[in-house]
Amino acid sequence: MSDPTSSATQFNAHADKYAASEVHRSGASLPVLLDFAAPGPNDDALDVATGTGNTALALAPHVARVTGLDLAEGMLEHARARASAEGQRNATFVVGSAEALPFPDASFTLVTSRHAPHHFHDLGRFLAEAHRVLTPGGRLVVADQISPTPELQPWIDMYQRRRDPSHVQQRTVAAWRDLAEGAGLRWAVQTVVPYRLDFAWWTAQSGTSLDAVQELRDSVATLTPAEQAAIGAEFGADGHLLAHVDQMMVVRLEKPAAGA
Ligand SMILES: C[S@@+](CC[C@H](N)C(=O)[O-])C[C@H]1O[C@@H](n2cnc3c(N)ncnc32)[C@H](O)[C@@H]1O
């Protein structure tokens, strides 16, 4: 039996919905990520956990080459079909793990990862791998959901995992920064982009069971008003949960140039 906590299991099962998701295709973190990445014609780019290729295919028209990597072959099939339909010939898609990138040292000038690192089992390992495959002076641009405070993180991780068993950890910005600097990356520029997520859409997207949907509703009801405000919980007139807000951190990290 397949492991429900594995990202490959989860995302292969729901690849069609992700391919059609406007939140992923064109959500507000994408233009910010592109702005921070400043992709150019000399860039050889790698998009880690590319899913259905939204970020890789947004980079493709600006760079020499882009490689999209993901654990889930079912997601990559959508990425390849879209690249072909759009006539983007400089984009290739390979199966692989963020924590063991199958590329030699200093292979890429730009690495990106969007809406995915909260699924990585070893974020420190991914950051070390991104540092290794980047050329000196290269940049890593990440967009990922964060927890507003360390105190709320255990609840948020429980909430996210009950909705999608492949969720691992949604860290604070400070925790991200410690790990990134520990991997030798310079924290260059950062912002936070709010994502209002409709509860019915959000749970349907990951195939959450009806029992789990009810548990999620009950769990939000147990939070204090301040905690509900911190996660942007919105309720209808009948008290039903309508939506919450994920805070998406977008950050550009830089590998110091040789001799710097
Ligand atoms: C929300 S989707 C990707 C979104 C995509 N980056 C975008 O911009 O639309 C998350 C992806 O992360 C992938 N993933 C999770 N853990 C991974 C890992 N350790 N290595 C590679 N891919 C991983 C999943 O298979 C899934 O396709």
Q: Write down the pLDDT at residue 17.
A: 82
Rounded Cα distance between 27 and 245, Å, is 13
CA of 50 to the centre of ligand 1 (A): 6
The distance of Cα 73 from the centroid of its chain, to the nearest Å, equals 17
The span from the CA of 126 to the CA of 145, in Å, is 16
Tokens, residue 153: 């993180």
Residue 100 in 3-state DSSP? strand
Other beta carbons less than 10 A from residue 173's beta carbon: 16
pLDDT in tens for each of the 260 residues of the chain?
A: 467 678 888 888 888 887 888 877 878 999 999 999 999 999 999 999 999 999 999 999 999 999 999 999 999 999 999 999 999 999 999 999 999 999 999 999 999 999 999 999 999 999 999 999 999 999 999 999 999 999 999 999 999 999 999 999 999 999 999 999 999 999 999 999 999 999 999 999 999 999 999 999 999 999 999 999 999 999 999 989 999 999 999 999 999 998 77
Q: Which domains does the chain have, with CATH numbers?
A: 7-197+245-254 (3.40.50.150)
Which residue, judged by its Cα, is nearest atom 7 of ligand 1?
Answer: 54
Structural tokens at position 152: 């709320």
**CA 31/CA 204 separation, integer angstroms:** 26
Measured CA to CA, the distance from residue 223 to residue 158 in angstroms comes to: 13
User: How many angstroms separate the alpha carbon of residue 226 from the centre of ligand 1?
Assistant: 31
Write out residues with Cβ below 6 Å of ligand 1.
7-8, 11, 24, 49-51, 54-55, 70-72, 75, 97-99, 114-116, 119-120
Question: What is each CA distance from 216 to 139, 156, 199, 240, 256, in whole angstroms?
Answer: 37, 11, 10, 11, 43
Using the mean position of ligand 1's atoms as its centre, give its distance from the Cα of residue 69 in Å: 8
**Which token pair is 69?**
């990597």
C-alpha 185/C-alpha 139 separation (Å) is 9
Q: 210-222 and 153-163 helices cross at what angle (nearest 10)?
A: 160
Q: For position 21, what pLDDT does the model report? A: 80
Pick the residue whose CA is nearest to atom 26 on ligand 1.
51
Cα(47) to ligand 1 centroid in Å equals 10
pLDDT given for residue 2 in this prediction: 66
CA angle 241, 216, 238 (to 5 degrees): 25
DSSP letters, 117-130, are GGG-S-HHHHHHHH
Q: Cα(189)–Cα(177) distance, rounded to whole angstroms?
A: 11
- Residue whose CA is closest, atom 9 of ligand 1? 24
User: What is the best residue among 5, 6, 11 to mutate for testing ligand 1's pocket, by most ligand atoms within 8 Å of CB?
Assistant: 11
Mutate to test the pocket of ligand 1, among 7, 140, 144, 205 (most ligand atoms within 8 A of CB): 7
Strand ranges (E), the chain: 44-48, 65-70, 91-95, 108-114, 134-146, 186-198, 234-235, 241-254
